[in-house]
Structure 1
Amino acid sequence: MTVVTALFEARPGREAELETALRELVSQVAQETSAIEYTLHRSPTSPGRFYFYERYADQGAVDAHMATPYLKRLLERVPELCAVAPEVDFFEPLVSINQLRT
């Protein structure tokens, strides 16, 4: 399993527009069968900061996601919507409370 996190920061005045674009992305990613989780969060103290927590079956699923036309369209809009480039990180899960509870 592969975990991806992505942090987006909206340009001032573009917060709602970025949120709309990110929400649309979630609905499109819902069709990806290898995307296990794709959750969008917004900071309660900084409404222009958005955070994705993503889980994929494997690296191949991540690669397929990164190649989708809808993600490419969103990334093309980053310069107009975001104050800085998104911060994307990749992780390997180690342990979860869900594992310990079973």
Structure 2
Amino acid sequence: MTVVTALFEARPGREAELETALRKLVSQVAQETGAIEYTLHRTPTSPGRFYFYERYADQAAVDTHMGTPYLKRVLEAVPDLCAAAPEVAFFEPLVSIKDLRA
């Protein structure tokens, strides 16, 4: 399994547009069979700061996601909607409470 996090910071005045684009992205990613979780969060104290927590079955699923036309469209809009490039990080899960409760 692969975990990806992505942090998006909206340009001032573009918060609603960015949120709309990211919400739409969630509904599109829901169709990807290798995407296990794709959750969008917003920072309560900074309404233009959005965070994705993503889990994929494997690296092939991540690669499929990264190659989708809808993700490419969002990334092409980043310079207009975001104050900076998204911060993306990749992780390998080690342990969770889900494992401990099983």
Class of the TM-score when normalised by the shorter of the 2 chains: over 0.9
Mapping of residues 52-67 of structure 1, within 5 Å: 52-67=52-67
Aligned pairs, number: 102
Following TM superposition, the consecutive aligned residue runs of length 4 or more in structure 1 with deviations greater than 2 angstroms are none
Tell me, in whole angstroms, the C-alpha distance in 1 between the residues paired with 2:69 and 2:36.
19
TM-score by length of 2: 1.00
Equivalent residue of 1:50, what SS? Answer: strand
Tell me, in whole angstroms, the C-alpha distance in 1 between the residues paired with 2:75 and 2:86.
9
**How well do the aligned residues superpose, as a CA RMSD in angstroms?**
0.2
- CA offset digits 1:45-93 (Å, max 9, x no partner): 0000000000000000000000000000000000000000000000000
Tell me, in whole angstroms, the C-alpha distance in 2 between the residues paired with 1:34 and 1:75.
20
Name the counterpart of 1:17: 17
Name the counterpart of 1:92: 92
Structure 2 gap ranges (5+): none
Tell me, in whole angstroms, the C-alpha distance in 2 between the residues paired with 1:84 and 1:67.
21
TM-score by length of 1: 1.00
